[in-house]
Structure formats: structure tokens, C-alpha cells
Amino acid sequence: MATSAPIFYATVQLWITLLLLVFALVVEGVAFVHCLTQRAEAFPAIGTLPKGAWLAIIGVSLVLTLFGFGPPSIFGLIGIAAAAIYLLDVRIGLRDLSDGKGFW
């Protein structure tokens, strides 16, 4: 009589979801803090949304990801995408505007 291996997919799913949640919170948190520390005049200079709009988008995404929706939901995916767009596009433009100086 052969015994089957224990079914552990729920545990694997839990760990993958937890890993995605931590990743999403780190990416969104870094984007929010970076946006918070930038000058408001720099955003129109590079032709993007104002600082307040970026703070609202990333902040709402961070809150929705943190309080229950998580990365597997559509809100979590939109939050990761918004933070990634900020970090990969807007942050680069802000850095180029300031001649690449600064910690970020």
C-alpha cells in the first residue's frame, strides 16, 4: 500500500503570498518616501503629475496593499505597477534634473 505525500500547497501559497506582500510593501514604501522627500517644483519641470498626485496614488496603493487586499488582488497589482512607474520613470527624471546628485 503506497502512502501519498502530505498536501502542503496551502503552506506554499501562504509563503508566496507573504513574500509578495513584503516585496510590494518595500517597493511602495520606498517610492512613497522618495516622493515625499522631493521638491514639488521638480515634478512639473520633468513633465509629470504633480507631487501631490504621486503621493496620493502611491499612498492609497500602499494602504490598500497593507490592509487586506494584498499583492494577489487587482489593487495590489495596480499598487506595485504605480510604484514601479514612479521608481523607474519619475525618479530617473528627477535625478537627471538635479544632475544625478543626492542619495536617491
Distance CA 12, CA 101 (A): 43
Give the C-alpha separation, 44 to 50, whole Å: 6
Q: What percent of the chain has pLDDT over 70?
A: 89
Provide mean pLDDT across the span 16-35.
Answer: 94
| Mean pLDDT, residues 75-92 taken together | 93
- pLDDT of 2 reads 57
Tell me the three-class secondary structure of 74-92, residue by residue: HHHHHHHHHHHHHHHHHHH
Q: Is the pLDDT of residue 102 over 60?
A: no
User: How large is the average pLDDT for residues 22-34?
Assistant: 95
Amino acid of residue 3: T
Q: What is the value of pTM for the model shown?
A: 0.84
Q: Is the pLDDT of residue 99 over 90?
A: no
Binned at pLDDT 50, 70 and 90, residue 97 comes out as confident
C-alpha cell at 57: 496614488
The alpha carbon dihedral of 79, 81, 86, 92 has a sign of: positive
